[in-house]
Amino acid sequence: MIVCRFLLFIVLINTLLAYESWTFPRSTSFHHTLELFHARATTSHPSFSFTLSSLLSFVVNETHCHDDLLLLMNGFLQKEKWALKIIDSWGIKPPAGLLEGSHLWLGSYDECLHPLYLPTNQTHVIQPYHTKYCTVSSPSNTTDDDNVFFAKPALIIGICLPISCHSHDFHIESLAIQCRSDERYFSIGTTYTISLIILLSLFVCFATFIPFLNEYSPITTLKKIFSLKRSPSTYSFINGIRAISLLWIILGHSYTFYLSIADNVVHIFDNIHNSLLLQLIVGAVYGVDTFFFISGFLAVSVFVTTFQNQNVFRIQHLFCYYFHRYCRLIPTLVFVLLISMHLTPWMGSGPIFPTVNGFEVPTCHNHWWATILFLNNFVSPTQACLPVTW
């Protein structure tokens, strides 16, 4: 009970420290963020004047993409329904809440990909070609402060292009075009990952009915998970501390990860400085310290118990401890890494869904070995896989 109160006291102190660190006068980074959105709230900004005619000036001549864009322009000038539908799906119209930080002008993703339906005669408008959804983005302006709360988001505009157009057909230095319909492919890694999941699923099914494999049965495993039995040497209070800290970290991540796509970033910044309750979310980063404490506490307990039983401490005890930990963690880590690298691109679709690399950085395929060897904090940490394993 004393240990629990002590840890809760530490959590309270960390929360107050978080509040103190976030209630300083608005920094230069915050002013730069406001200036960014105010600067983009003018029609003189090139991203606001992005039109079909300006897009044609950037496309390479004598290509199918150029010819299809000319056909689209002619159809639009003649007010043909298929062309009006394509242009209507563009996100070039400034949305409401621009000064609040609305930087995602995504347009209509579904309208772009599907033919226009006419309810009067219950038919679809015939298009001369299929279309794909693309995004035009300005370079993301980052601040000297690498805190995610003061990152400057990039302006992203959704456009609808002919299926013949690709990102390399456009030569725009100040803007980046990324198309989504032709980027996702079934790689060898995806095949291996799906095959591994199928094999493991079959093994678990067989283990459920074969007696000598009963330890791998999901029924046996669930009984152990929900069992209330515990050995006398178990520190039961750690389970509560771990659960509370985990919920705290999940709460903080749930808000932080959505900050990059929020359309009221300025309003969020204002609340960070003025809301005491919001400091529980901002200070969730200190919840990780609790897991550091638990890991150190349990490691010391193991070594102290070993020393008391054997009355001697050998270096092989330390080696066996870390080897045992590595063997316990590495199968789950490899399995999660494979899913994150090869299956997350297939888990959704949408205007800004990562359909190429999933939720991993593009260089993850070159640095996956650093994560497996637990060297991701030392070998290219900004390009490592599974950032949550830091």
Identify any residues that bridge with 158 across adjacent strands, giving them in sequence order. Answer: 135
Instruction: Return the amino acid letter for 113.
Output: L
Residue 327: predicted pLDDT: 92
246 within some domain:
no
Rg (C-alpha) for the chain, rounded Å, is 27
104 within some domain:
yes
Each residue's pLDDT tens digit, 184-210: 677 888 899 999 999 999 988 888 888
Residue 197: predicted pLDDT: 93
Residue 37: predicted pLDDT: 38
Residue 336: predicted pLDDT: 92
User: Which has the closest alpha carbon to 74: 35, 128, 9?
Assistant: 128
Domain boundary among the residues 151, 179, 207 is at 179
328 within some domain:
yes
Q: Is the pTM of this model over 0.85?
A: no
Residue 162 CA to residue 135 CA, distance in Å, equals 13
Identify any residues that bridge with 135 across adjacent strands, giving them in sequence order. Answer: 158, 178
End-to-end Cα distance, the chain:
31
Residue 36: predicted pLDDT: 42
Domains identified in the chain, total number:
2
Helix ranges, the chain (H) = 2-22, 28-39, 52-56, 64-77, 81-88, 109-113, 188-209, 218-225, 237-256, 265-274, 279-282, 287-310, 315-342, 364-372
Residue 139 pLDDT level (bands cut at 50, 70, 90): low
User: Structural domain of residue 148, as residue ranges?
Assistant: 40-179
Each residue's pLDDT tens digit, 299-338: 888 888 877 777 777 788 788 888 988 999 999 999 999 9
Each residue's pLDDT tens digit, 230-239: 777 778 888 8
18 within some domain:
no
151 within some domain:
yes
Residue 140 pLDDT level (bands cut at 50, 70, 90): low
Domain boundary among the residues 128, 163, 179 is at 179
Domain boundary among the residues 117, 148, 179 is at 179
User: Which has the closest alpha carbon to 135: 289, 355, 316?
Assistant: 355
